[in-house]
Copies of this chain bind each other. A is one copy, B any other.
Amino acid sequence: MREVAIVGTGVTKFGELWDKSFRAIGIEAGIKAIEDAGMSGSEVDGVYFGNMSSRFINQQHIDALIADYSGMATRNVPAVRTEAGGASGGVAFRQGVMAVASGMNDVVLVGGAEKMTDMDDAGTALIMDSTADAEWEVSMGLTLTSLYAMIARRMIYDGIATREEIASFAVNAHKHGALNPNAQYRKAVSLETVMRSGPVAEPLGMFDCAPYSDGAAAVVLVPLEHAKKMGVDYVKVSATAQASDTLALFQREDITTFKATTVAAKEAYKIAGIEAKDIDVAEVHDDYTVGGIMALQDLGFFKKGEAGKAVLEDRVSIDGEVAINTSGGLKAAGYPVGAAGVAQIVEITNQLRNRADNRQVKDAKYGLAQSVGGTGSAVTVSILEAI
């Protein structure tokens, strides 16, 4: 298989974008990515697109919609939509990498988008199109938030993390989000603010949960050998891996570890020929603060029981031991579901290209992105490398 490079990135503002449609933001991100690559849309020969729920916009066939509104349908360029809950964008990226690596495509646009705020009740939509198990969890009254709350309770009960440590993940997120001009929330918050935020599913409060968001992100992939000749900044895709776990949480041996993360990470490190300690900057899936803490452990950045302390001690911010969620993450940058996994790749790429402005991590060589569906039912882990 061929080695693959990222040569362009694009992202919209994340937030409540009432003046823009789903198709408008999807195309905005795509055009930005193509322009950033110094290319023309007419060079793209394949599209992969992550999108979670049709219920937000009453539209299926997002593959065709994106091919159409990006002008690629006039050249009949094939487009593929992937859906894997919160990992929809991560899966799209992995499929795009596979398409270029295999030789099936030479220039692939990978995008992701979600438009969640156009409807009255996104919360109900998320229950009706659930990424938790509809038959065994949702029918019993469980939501994704209450499932993560159970995980948090167990983490606290087992002494893996304290409530304060879990809450501190949001403090780090908002600290970084304040530096990101595209973030939904650009305000630092104190630990006290997070701790005192209104309960959603105890122990998790409002500030432990990522928001509903509109937004889109995109990257352009080409073979590494092509990238070298293009005269643009690029990064190498050193690895991309994916793993599954049971859909329902109750079937796991251990709910304080997402085994799909550990398996995908192990494979990704092996493919890239590096170890967890080599990662300088990472975007991890913090739809809930507790998920962020778990990610730091499951990815091998910290031993189990030590991640929360590291976050609380401010050791994962931009100049920390490993810089975590410099974009603000899902929590502060926003969580347009299908876009999230691709926006992570955008942030890591720009960190490795030295283009992260006032949130730049110094001398970053290796970056990692982790995208999670449901309660860890599907996880993608990708490793990028500065060239």
Contacts and interface: CB of A to CB of B under 8 A. Distances in A.
Nearest to A127: B58
A138 B58 contact: yes
B79 A60 contact: no
A243 B47 CA distance: 11
Contact of A244 (B58, B67, B83, B104): B67
Nearest to A241: B78
Contact of A55 (B54, B61, B76, B245): B54
A99 B54 CA distance: 26
Contact of A103 (B1, B63, B241, B259): B1
Contacts of A195: none
Given A81-B83, A244-B63, A244-B76, A54 B53 contact: yes
B245 A64 contact: yes
A247 B68 contact: yes
A232 interface: no
A82 B171 CA distance: 36
B73 A246 contact: yes
A221 to B, nearest CB: 14
Contacts of A64: 84-85, 131, 244-247, 373-374, 377-378
Nearest to A65: B247
Interface in A206-257: 241-248, 251
A263 interface: yes
A299 interface: no
Contacts of A76: 243-245, 259-260, 263-264
Given A78-B244, A80-B95, A85 B73 contact: no
A346 interface: no
A21 interface: yes
A138 B72 CA distance: 22
Given A81-B83, A104-B98, A61 B21 contact: no
B243 A134 contact: no
Contacts of A387: none
A7 interface: no
Nearest to A62: B83
A101 interface: yes
A200 interface: no
B63 A53 contact: no
Contacts of A52: 60
A211 to B, nearest CB: 19
Contacts of A82: 80-82
Contact of A102 (B63, B79, B98, B245): B98
A101 to B, nearest CB: 6
A91 interface: yes
Nearest to A23: B135
A213 B231 CA distance: 53
A3 interface: no
B63 A378 contact: yes
Contacts of A83: 60-63, 81, 83
The 10 closest A-B pairs by CB, nearest first: A102-B102, A64-B377, A78-B242, A67-B244, A76-B243, A61-B85, A59-B134, A61-B131, A76-B263, A54-B129
Interface of A: 1, 21, 23, 52-55, 57-65, 67-69, 72-73, 76-85, 91, 95, 98-99, 101-104, 128-131, 133-135, 138, 241-248, 251, 259-260, 263-264, 373-374, 377-378
Given A60-B129, A83-B83, 5 more contacts: A68-B246, A77-B243, A79-B84, A80-B95, A101-B104
11 contacts: A55-B55, A59-B130, A61-B247, A63-B83, A63-B91, A63-B373, A80-B95, A80-B242, A83-B83, A98-B102, A101-B102
